[in-house]
Amino acid sequence: MIECLRILESVNLPAHIVAHSLQVARCAVTLARHLNNNSHRLHEDLVCAGSLLHDIAKDLSLKTGKNHAHLGAAILEQMGLSLVAPIVRDHIFLNESMLEAPFSESVVVNYADKRVKHEAIVLLDERFEDLLVRYGTTPEKKAHLQRRWKIYRALEQKLFAHTSIKPEHLAQEAAQVSWAVGHCDGSQ
């Protein structure tokens, strides 16, 4: 984790994006732990590293106009973090066919990111209502976001069917996540 935060510092990621990424990591690690308690085999360090680094290129993408997920993955590949890079590349993509696949670190980080609005852990509906207001500026964009909303609802149902908690309990549990020093360094 310390290593991931150093990486974010080295690229001068703004503090509010670091704060957002920490919240995503809390949600993703909480969810991964619950899934692992129910016989899944998710690599928690990788989930943590992917969450912390998922928006590494967000600021850069605003300046260059490039896709922040692809740009972030390329940066991490260059750093030799080849296991984390695909998680970052995939964190904004989800289609129906991915719902049929076994749970992965990528899907957990992807979902967790949709539970954090700026720096606050919120319900999926609140996050998508906000996205609709901000980005649903044409009928096509609105319809696209509504389709995505529906897929994420289905993913949420599938994920939480394998946990002992409900989606609305995630924020409270995530707030209690503590990090071990040296844990989650993203290099494995």
Site residues, Fe ion (CB under 5 A): 55, 113
Q: What is the Cα–Cα distance from 145 to 109, expressed in whole angstroms?
A: 19
Least distance from C-beta 20 to Fe ion, angstroms?
Answer: 6
C-alpha to C-alpha distances, 51 to 107, 115, 140, nearest whole angstrom: 11, 12, 30
Nearer to Fe ion, 55 or 105 (CB): 55
d(CA 12, CA 75): 14
| Closest separation in Å from C-beta 39 to Fe ion | 28
Alpha-carbon separation of residue 177 from 33, 59, 99, 148, 187 (angstroms): 10, 27, 27, 28, 21
What's the per-residue H, E or C state across 101-131?
A: CCCCHHHHHHHHHCCEECCEECCHHHHHHHH
Three-state DSSP at 139 gives helix
CB of 182 to Fe ion, least distance (A): 24
CB of 116 to Fe ion, least distance (A): 7
Q: Identify which of residues 55 and 90 has a Cβ nearer to Fe ion in the complex.
A: 55
* Closest to Fe ion by CB, 25 or 159: 25
Query: 151 or 162, CB closer to Fe ion?
Result: 151
41 or 134: whose CB is closer to Fe ion?
134
| Cβ-proximal residue to Fe ion, closest one | 113
- Least distance from C-beta 119 to Fe ion, angstroms? 11
